[in-house]
A and B are shown apart, each in its own frame.
Chain A
Amino acid sequence: MPKKVSEMEEGFVMTTPRSSMQTKTGSWRTFKPVIDYSKCISCAICWSYCPEPAIFLKDDKYTVDYEYCKGCGICAAECPVKAITMVREGE
């Protein structure tokens, strides 16, 4: 949501931490990573390479947070067992 000039701190200084959480970057994505859990060996390489980071361990499974994933494809490139495929959004 845009802020009015009067609601903004001087110099666009952000006084509350974690303000980047408010900017959901998922809409930047053209391709989304899809994990095939039949191949996934839970090695955590995607988790450690994700620059966002938008891959988290959830119920013992590595899961992509699509609200923040920008679709860079590094996880798919790094996955040693080719368990991640980049799928065009909308397909």
Chain B
Amino acid sequence: MKTILLSGNTALSYAVKQLDVDVVSAYPITPQTTMVEKLSEYVANGELNAEFIPVESEHSALSSVLGASAAGARVFTSTSSQGLLLMHEIMFIAAGLRLPVVMGVADRAVSAPINIWNDHSDIMAQRDSGWICFFAESAQESYDRTIQAYRIAEDENVHLPVNLNFDGFILTHTYEPVTTLDDDMVLKYAPKKRRRLVLDPSTPMTFGGLGSPEYYFEAKYQAIKALENSLKTIIEADKEYERISGRGYGLYKAYMTDDADTILVSLGSVGGSIRGVVKRMRRDGLKVGALSLKLFRPFPAKELVEALSKTNSVVVLDKASSPGAIGGPLFLEIQASLKSFDVNVPVMDIIAGLGGREIGPDDIRVMFNKGLKVAAEKKVDKILDFVGVYL
């Protein structure tokens, strides 16, 4: 194990190299560009023995790796924002064909107005595509999850695509010391396996055939259940990774939630800032807690409800919007989970940080104060609120 200075982007590239990926196809887009640059460099200088397919669009990037994956290759692609939207239709196909494609997503806002900075609008628009969806808080976590992703995706009980989300610029471009595993450890943890169903001229098979009304529903049901059942493998893969590396992440990171009056739930890099504010507010005697969710699909509803059932109010921080809905995508998920498991904690939603608007300690304090007010009054005045927008 050695510790190297890596950014989120180069941490992923480094992991992909160690995982001995066979085919890489990606189209550069800010803030993901340096990841593709690094990967093409690895292929060009022979450090990674892979086929690098330069393409004219993200639609083709995902299509190429999808075909390669069907032929049994270990594949990687990555994108962001508009590029991810262009991949939209192929994402459903990857999941429907049950191909273990792994993709890095440098989360970025979606046009218009055009904006290259971070929020979660791009990935939330892919919510129902049937992929396993992780969020990372650091370059270290991005590196570790990439290795886990291949073990999970290629597990014979899963066979599903995985996307790894790490916040644009905040994680993609920030360098930090990343402790890496030795190459042989990586491949021992996530070994390459031959799948039973692969495209091979010696045993011809049809991938992507017509599923008429007699067949479509069953095929879809199978993919829905596979995503639901992948949770077990995800938990096991993380435990095993912790055993070999000393680093495990679980489904969420809870911080000072046991006796908290209000818990702020978030996704991605903002989790660290929130914990910093919790620490300071606790010094002032305010009982606040933080929960940073690591896995968005499959949504760990039961586990999350347990973690939130004892508090007096929940504030959800959404870095994406669902215009016209009563709240953002994460809020809808958490509210539905709590109510479905008969937990009647008041929940409010806060949308913040859109298009790279900074979420600073003062903003987080404002969010906690709103949560404490809901806890004290035992009711939610405003289901959806916005923090950091100039009105």
Binding site for B on A (CB under 8 A): 1-5, 8-15, 17, 19-20, 23
Chain A residues near B226: list those with CB within 8 A: 10
Q: Are A9 and B215 in contact (CB under 8 A)?
A: no
Partner of A11, one of B97, B210, B214, B225: B97
Partner of B221, one of A5, A14, A23: A5
Q: Are A14 and B205 in contact (CB under 8 A)?
A: yes
> Closest CB of chain A to B210's CB: distance in Å?
7
Contact bitstring B57-96, A, C-beta under 8 A = 1, else 0: 0000000000000000000000000000000000000001
Chain A residues near B205: list those with CB within 8 A: 13-15
> Closest CB of chain B to A22's CB: distance in Å?
10
- Give the number of chain B interface residues (Cβ < 8 Å): 24
Chain A residues near B214: list those with CB within 8 A: 1-3
> Closest CB of chain B to A38's CB: distance in Å?
38
Known: A11-B159, A14-B205, A19-B206. A2 touches B197 (CB 8 A): no
Q: Are A12 and B197 in contact (CB under 8 A)?
A: no
For A9, the closest partner residue in chain B by CB is B197
A1–B218 Cα distance when bound, in Å, is 12
Max chain B Cβ within 10 angstroms of own Cβ: one of A10, A11, A15, A20: A11
Chain B residues near A2: list those with CB within 8 A: 214-215, 218
Q: Are B218 and A3 in contact (CB under 8 A)?
A: yes
Known: A10-B197, A13-B197, A13-B206. A3 touches B215 (CB 8 A): yes
Judge if B3 is at the interface, Cβ distance under 8 Å: no
For A15, the closest partner residue in chain B by CB is B205
Chain A residues near B209: list those with CB within 8 A: 12, 14, 19-20
Known: A20-B209, A23-B210. A11 touches B99 (CB 8 A): yes
Known: A5-B222, A8-B222. A13 touches B207 (CB 8 A): yes
- List 20 A-B residue pairs with CB atoms under 8 Å apart, sorted by A's residue number: A2-B215, A2-B218, A3-B215, A5-B221, A8-B218, A8-B222, A10-B197, A10-B222, A10-B226, A11-B98, A11-B159, A11-B197, A11-B222, A13-B97, A13-B197, A15-B197, A15-B205, A17-B206, A19-B206, A19-B209
Judge if B204 is at the interface, Cβ distance under 8 Å: yes
> Closest CB of chain B to A69's CB: distance in Å?
17
> Closest CB of chain A to B109's CB: distance in Å?
33
Chain B residues near A15: list those with CB within 8 A: 197, 203, 205
> Closest CB of chain B to A1's CB: distance in Å?
7
A19–B209 Cα distance when bound, in Å, is 9
Chain A residues near B159: list those with CB within 8 A: 10-11
> Closest CB of chain B to A29's CB: distance in Å?
15
Judge if B212 is at the interface, Cβ distance under 8 Å: yes
A14–B203 Cα distance when bound, in Å, is 11
A4–B214 Cα distance when bound, in Å, is 10
Chain B residues near A14: list those with CB within 8 A: 205-206, 209
> Closest CB of chain A to B99's CB: distance in Å?
7
A15–B206 Cα distance when bound, in Å, is 7
Chain A residues near B223: list those with CB within 8 A: 11
Q: Are B97 and A17 in contact (CB under 8 A)?
A: no
Judge if B276 is at the interface, Cβ distance under 8 Å: no
Contact bitstring B212-243, A, C-beta under 8 A = 1, else 0: 10110011011101100000000000000000
Chain B residues near A5: list those with CB within 8 A: 218, 221-222, 225
Judge if B211 is at the interface, Cβ distance under 8 Å: yes
Q: Are A17 and B204 in contact (CB under 8 A)?
A: yes
Q: Are B207 and A11 in contact (CB under 8 A)?
A: yes
Chain A residues near B219: list those with CB within 8 A: 8, 11-12
Chain B residues near A10: list those with CB within 8 A: 98, 159, 197, 222, 226
A11–B209 Cα distance when bound, in Å, is 10
For A13, the closest partner residue in chain B by CB is B197
Chain A residues near B221: list those with CB within 8 A: 5
Max chain B Cβ within 10 angstroms of own Cβ: one of A3, A14, A17: A14
For B95, the closest partner residue in chain A by CB is A11
> Closest CB of chain B to A68's CB: distance in Å?
14
